[in-house]
Structures are given as structure tokens and as C-alpha cells.
Amino acid sequence: MTIAHPFTNDYSRSAHPKILEDLVCLGTRAFEGYGCDELTTQASQLILEACEAPEGAVYLVHGGTQVNALYVDFVVRPWQSVVCVESGHIATHEAGAVEHLGHRLVTLPADEGRMDAAVLEDYLRSWRDSQLREHMTEPGLVYISQPTELGTLYSRKQLEALARVCRSFDVGLYVDGARMGYGLASEANDVSLADLSRLTNAFTIGGTKCGMLFGEALVIPDAAHAGSMRTLIKAHGALLAKGWLLGVQFLTMFRDDLYTSITRTANERASRLTATFIDAGFEMLIASPTNQIFPVLPLELARELIETFGVYEWEPVGESRLCVRVVVSWATTDEDEAALHEWVRSHALR
């Protein structure tokens, strides 16, 4: 990559210096293998405290597609399906991982990336009332993301509404938090980890996109339902021999709130950039309060922005404009940010 100031994604650079430092500090100390080490234990403890889930269990695995497939495989029975929005990551860019393990996905239309409680309820009711119900998979788990694929957030009220619907139909609720750090640190956010413990059956806290080398924490607030997960992780080829590699990174992240402090900075940069885009006369596809923003530009300008800053084309808007995805990350520097402000201002529509 020869892009000086990339805004491509939040996983193209190594890890926060503190992570690397703590990793190297361990030298060649010996640890118990497969996540039975004390660093993993301590990290899990810290995470459960942050989640206010003393009875919970935490499992650390290396990646987001893996952790999603793992939890689905753990709870969804062979006659059941997973319900998500059409733009849900498991439905679009996880190469059919959920289906490959034998589980059907059912997709609902999204509202700015979110699943609407009323839409979900309609679907669940129509399934329950169908003459042909036995010929259709039973909804077993609802999958949502916080933040969503569009950078938007569920409010606590929206999450409570979904949880209520799920409970009334006896369907589980799972939250993919691959970018949870950016969500937690958002000014617009009113959903805490403790809220997630209270309202969901499980959720993840993503590290890969939030400053770690790799690593996602699966939190199951009610550990009574977590027996034999480690054997399933092994069966998925996801029980890292040197599991303490995950432990040490999450420990660094959750000691002294590094997790939300570096993501907060990213959100603030994104917020300032949004303001600059708007001042310069560009529309935003959506009002995103996290680290991904979606400006809409005339085709030619969009092409230049893509080339200069390595951003992704998102979708066409009408005939003559293009929405692009600008991703600020924990690694974005003041220089990166300044370069983008400068470009936007110098290409202002007014």
C-alpha cells in the first residue's frame, strides 16, 4: 500500500503500542496451553467486571467470523435458523460460515442497519401462525450488531424492545460487537456492557478492529448455559495453543480503559470529519455516531477520494453520485486526519 493517509478500514495496522509492549515483556515465560493460563483468567475476570456479569463466562477466540459461527453452532439446534437483517455481516461477508455449519439464515429488511423490533415481531408471528410452520426452520436466535454495519447504534430502548420480542417468542438474542469499542465510546451511545449482559444471551467484544493484533471476547452473561464450549472451540479449530496471546491483549485493553480511550479518539476524529464534509456541502448517507462515516460525493470526486485515501466504494446514490465508506481507526494519526480535512475543504461543493 502506497497510500500515505489511509482511511480504508480499522484492521490494516498492527496493534496499539501498549499491546505489543506487554506481549514482548512476557519474554519466554511458560504458560499453560489452550487458554488455561492465568493471563486469560485475569482478562476474563476484568471483562466480566466491566460487564457486571459475575456469573458469566468469557471465551477468547481469534476472529469475528469464528466467534459468530461458534456461538451460533453452540446454541442453534438443527431445526432452527438465525434471524438477522439483510446487511448483517453473517449474511453478507462471512462466506456462508453459519450455513456451512448447518444453520439457515433468515434475513429481514434493515432500518439504517438496525433490526426493527416490530419487523421482527411480525416475522416471528407469521412463522408461528403459518399452516406450513413445520416445513420452515424454527427461529432460534436473533443476530444483531452494535454498532451496525452502517456505524449506527441501537439505543437502550431499541435494544430493550428487541429483547422483549425475543423473550416472548423464546428466541435467543446475540450481539456481534466486532466494533463494540467504537460503540461504547460514542457520545450518542446509551448502551453499556452491563445493559448487554442484562438484555442478551451473549455478545462479543471485538479486539481485532479496536487496536489488538487479533481477538474477540464472547461473553455469556449466564454461564449456566456455557458447558463444553471449550470442546466446541477445539472442534472449530479455534482453540489457540498459546491462548495467553489473547489473554495478554485483552488484559492490556481492559486495564485502565485503553479499549474505550483509543476508540473514543477515533470517534472524535470521525465526528470532526463529518462536520467538515457537511460544511463543504456534502451529504452523509446516514448519521453515524461511530468511526465509520458515509459521505456522498459526485462521481469524479468520489473516485479521487477512493484513490487518495484508500476508502471503499459503498453504493451509488442516484445516477451521478457515489457513497464511500471512510473508516477512522484507533491508529489514525493527527496527520492522517489533517490530510483528509484539507482534501475535503479544497474540494468543497460550496
- The least CB distance from residue 247 to a second copy, in Å, is 12
Residues 49, 79, 190, 316: which binds a second copy (CB under 8 A)? 79
By CB under 8 A, residue 135 contacts a second copy = yes
Q: Which is nearer to a second copy, 8 or 192 (CB)?
A: 8
Q: Give the number of residues in contact with a second copy, rule: CB under 8 A.
A: 81
By CB under 8 A, residue 125 contacts a second copy = no
Q: Which is nearer to a second copy, 80 or 267 (CB)?
A: 80
- The pairing of beta strand 202-206 with beta strand 80-85: unpaired
- The least CB distance from residue 155 to a second copy, in Å, is 29
By CB under 8 A, residue 117 contacts a second copy = no
Start-to-end CA distance of the chain, whole Å, equals 32
Alpha-carbon distance of 138 to 148, in angstroms, equals 25
- Contact (Cβ atoms closer than 8 angstroms) between residue 207 and residue 250: yes
- The least CB distance from residue 159 to a second copy, in Å, is 26
Contacts with 111 (C-beta within 8 Å, 6 or more apart), sequence order: 119
Residues 50, 85, 97, 184: which binds a second copy (CB under 8 A)? 97
By CB under 8 A, residue 6 contacts a second copy = yes
- The least CB distance from residue 225 to a second copy, in Å, is 12
How many Cβ atoms are within 10 Å of 205's Cβ, its own excluded?
28
- The least CB distance from residue 265 to a second copy, in Å, is 14
- The least CB distance from residue 109 to a second copy, in Å, is 13
Q: What are the phi and psi torsion angles at 53 (to 5°)?
A: -130, 70
Residues 54, 96, 281, 316: which binds a second copy (CB under 8 A)? 96
By CB under 8 A, residue 169 contacts a second copy = no
Residues 54, 55, 101, 157: which binds a second copy (CB under 8 A)? 101
- The least CB distance from residue 113 to a second copy, in Å, is 17
Angle at 245 between CA 240 and CA 247, to 5 degrees: 100
Alpha-carbon distance of 325 to 183, in angstroms, equals 17
Applying the rule CB under 8 A, the residues between 217 and 256 that interact with a second copy are: 228-232, 234-242, 245
Binding mask 192-221 for a second copy (x = CB under 8 A): ----------------xx---xx-------
Applying the rule CB under 8 A, the residues between 17 and 76 that interact with a second copy are: 17, 20, 23-24, 26-34, 62-70, 73-74
- The pairing of beta strand 312-317 with beta strand 104-108: unpaired
Residues 99, 111, 121, 268: which binds a second copy (CB under 8 A)? 99
Alpha-carbon distance of 151 to 112, in angstroms, equals 9
Q: Which is nearer to a second copy, 27 or 318 (CB)?
A: 27
Q: Decide: helix, strand or coil at residue 278.
A: helix
Nine-digit cell string for 198: 442484562
Applying the rule CB under 8 A, the residues between 300 and 329 that interact with a second copy are: 312-313
Alpha-carbon distance of 58 to 80, in angstroms, equals 25
Residue with cell 453452540: 74
Alpha-carbon distance of 60 to 35, in angstroms, equals 8
**Phi-psi region at 333: left, alpha or beta (left = phi > 0; alpha = psi -120 to 50):** beta
Alpha carbon distances (Å) from 190 to 184, 220, 272 = 8, 21, 21
Alpha-carbon distance of 63 to 58, in angstroms, equals 15
Binding mask 267-286 for a second copy (x = CB under 8 A): --------------------
Which range touches a second copy (CB under 8 A), out of 14-22, 152-160, 197-205, 342-350?
Answer: 14-22
